[in-house]
Amino acid sequence: MASYLQIEGISKSYGPKVLFDNIGFNINEGDKIALIAPNGTGKTSLLKILAGKDKSDSGGRITFLKDIRIAFLEQEYDFCPESGIFAQIMASSSTLTSHMDEEHLFAYELKVRQLLSNFGLDDPEAKMKTLSGGEVKRVALTQMLASEADFYIMDEPTNHLDIDAIEFLEGYLSRARCTLFMVTHDRYFLDHVCNTVMEMDRGSIYIYRGDYQNYLEKRQERIDNYDANTDKVRNILRRELEWMRSTPCARSGKAKYRKDAFYELKERAEDTYVSRQVNMGEVGMASRLGSKIINCRDVSFFYGDRCYLNHFSYNFQRYERVGIVGGNGVGKSTFINLLTGNMFPEDPGELSGVIDRGESLRIGYYRQSGISFDEEQTVLETVNDTRLLSQFLFPHDMLNNRVATLSGGEKRRLYLLTVLKEQPNLLILDEPTNDLDIVTLNVLEEYLKEYRGSLIIISHDRHFLDRLVDHLLVFTGGGNVKDFIGDYSQYRQYMLDLQAEKRSEERQRKDAVKAKESPKTEFRPEKRKLSYKEKKELEALEKELEELNAEKAALEQALSGGQLPVDELRKASTRFGELTEIIDGKEMRWLELSELA
């Protein structure tokens, strides 16, 4: 296995803040690596250094395998607002396409158009300035994937994408024979795409081969061992402390090295993982909640000629946990603004129906955009609650830092706390997982699981939804909203089953039409015989069907046994649906060939 990239001794600082110092690691051909680290520790800076967009402070060495092609997906895509989508991609790809002959250029253009279609961008001539943030991200991804590079470097590829786009990208990258190094907070995406997790923690690099669950288990073992060693150090420290506090006479005769060792021990004994310090027992505070939350009766909303809500009626309940899902631009955020009364008064659109809010309702609304801070204030001045700050991983030594010095993810986390500190009894979160690291997401999930109020979440993060919601409102476009009881994975399986049922009904309908239209005469043309190639195909199909049906039967037995953990149950359910579809297709082909045999 070829080494694609070797990194030795690279460092990065911003002012007095050291992001990482003298780190090194190796990436091999075929590695699909997810980089995990808290916000503010330099993940994006590291990616930019590897992609040649930035430099290491300490020099160091970055060695790529000769002649490999690299594609870099940044969080922000640089584009011309007046360009059409296809024109923008071709202009940005000029370095790649300038050396192509006519045949390869045509193939590249075809690949771009195919990817745009797969990402749901059906109008290649649409102006870039008219696109939503999620649509711009899909354009950037199309450009990157069309390059068919050997090595992809990706910074938060799922940010702002809807679930359909995420699942397409997930399938594409999991099948692609490429090498990948990415930062992502989407744990299902990470689990399905990556074969390695790399953690950057306290200036060190830790590598875990395997999926996300394996990473969690091995990381916990490492933390437990670390903290066990810390406990041993504390016991030694107690004895040394007794010695240091003894009389000056007694202490003066002791060796200097022992005094120095005491201070080293003290520093080590105070050092433990934040995850072990977080006390979740006092979280989830909410103001008293009355019986009425928000009642919607026959609500419709139009903006110009576009319908965002069509005769919607629903009464939100106390302590209900609702997830809102749907494609980009179907009106999810608009719906939340209607519920909360936050539509822009200068151009409110056309609203009809009744939205009735409870008298005791206190709404906490975490928005995608519009974060506003006094950048000169400190963290503690912005959120004057040390308990909450500690729970959400703002250590004591950060409390006096000015907001202006925080990373984008740290500001997003602090903004979340400005919402939570008001103790709302209805908490509305609009894409809360964007720009938050995985460690913070786990803390937020634990907080929300204990939250004693009503919860409404707009999210594309399937893991986040599965852990927190028990009911979905699915926006399907044109103002239509479907009501589904269950989490996202249950909804996804329901849709897969529904699609399989529709395909089966369509096949039966076509077979019935074909039978009805077939000639009634006894005349039968001479039967064509199988070619040699078709005979081989039939033999292969019989073997494949035997193996696939055996796998399906094993999965069916496992699913009905009730012994699988939740994550394995979801994977097995997804694979069962895939197998059903594959077997249906192969059986149809087997029947065609069998009739000629």
What is the tens place of the pLDDT at every residue in 516-528?
Answer: 776 555 545 555 6
pLDDT tens digits, one per residue of 362-375: 999 999 876 788 89
| 321 vs 448: CA distance, rounded Å | 10
- Across residues 555-583, what is the average pLDDT? 71
| Tokens linked to 335 | 């719906």
- Across residues 479-505, what is the average pLDDT? 90
Main-chain dihedrals φ then ψ at residue 255, nearest 5 degrees? -70, 145
* pLDDT category of residue 345 using cuts at 50, 70 and 90: low
Main-chain dihedrals φ then ψ at residue 269, nearest 5 degrees? -70, -30
β 151-155/426-430 pair status: unpaired
Residue 256: CB partners within 8 Å, gap ≥ 6? Answer: none
CA-nearest of 87, 91, 95, 88 to 69 is 95
Q: Is 398 exposed, middle or buried (0-12, 13-18, 19+ CB in 10 A)?
A: middle
| 18 vs 41: CA distance, rounded Å | 8
| The predicted structure's pLDDT at residue 242 | 72
| Tokens linked to 531 | 């070619």
What's the chain's average pLDDT? 85
| Tokens linked to 480 | 């239509």
| Tokens linked to 317 | 């309940």
- Across residues 482-487, what is the average pLDDT? 93
Least confident of 225-229, 284-288, 428-432: 284-288
| The predicted structure's pLDDT at residue 275 | 44
- Amino acid identity at 462: R
Residue 290 has pLDDT above 80, yes or no: no
- Across residues 207-223, what is the average pLDDT? 88
| The predicted structure's pLDDT at residue 281 | 42
pLDDT higher at 407 or 466: 466
Residue 366 Cα to chain centre, angstroms: 18
Residue 231 has pLDDT above 80, yes or no: no
| 500 vs 508: CA distance, rounded Å | 12
Least confident of 39-53, 183-197, 564-578: 564-578
Task: Check residue 575 and report its DSSP letter.
Answer: H
b or e along 53-79 (b: 16 or more beta carbons within 10 Å of the residue's beta carbon)? Answer: eeebbeebebebbeeeebbbbbbebeb
| 49 vs 55: CA distance, rounded Å | 5
5 in Cβ contact with 60 (< 8 Å):
no
Q: How many residues does the chain have?
A: 597
| The predicted structure's pLDDT at residue 348 | 67
| The predicted structure's pLDDT at residue 40 | 82
| 405 vs 247: CA distance, rounded Å | 45
- The fraction of the chain above a pLDDT of 70, given in percent, is 85
| The predicted structure's pLDDT at residue 124 | 94
* pLDDT category of residue 186 using cuts at 50, 70 and 90: very high
β 480-485/471-477 pair status: antiparallel
| 19 vs 11: CA distance, rounded Å | 8
Residue 170: CB partners within 8 Å, gap ≥ 6? Answer: 188, 189, 192, 193
| 125 vs 86: CA distance, rounded Å | 6
545 in Cβ contact with 573 (< 8 Å):
no
User: Could you count the other beta carbons within 10 Å of the beta carbon of residue 433?
Assistant: 25
User: Could you count the other beta carbons within 10 Å of the beta carbon of residue 492?
Assistant: 20
325 in Cβ contact with 472 (< 8 Å):
yes
pLDDT higher at 28 or 272: 28
Measured N-to-C along each axis, helices 85-92 and 133-146 cross at an angle, to the nearest 10 degrees, of 40
CA distances to 116, 244, 310, 338 from 426, rounded to whole Å, are 39, 54, 24, 15
Alpha helices in 205-306 (DSSP H): 212-244, 248-252, 256-269, 274-277
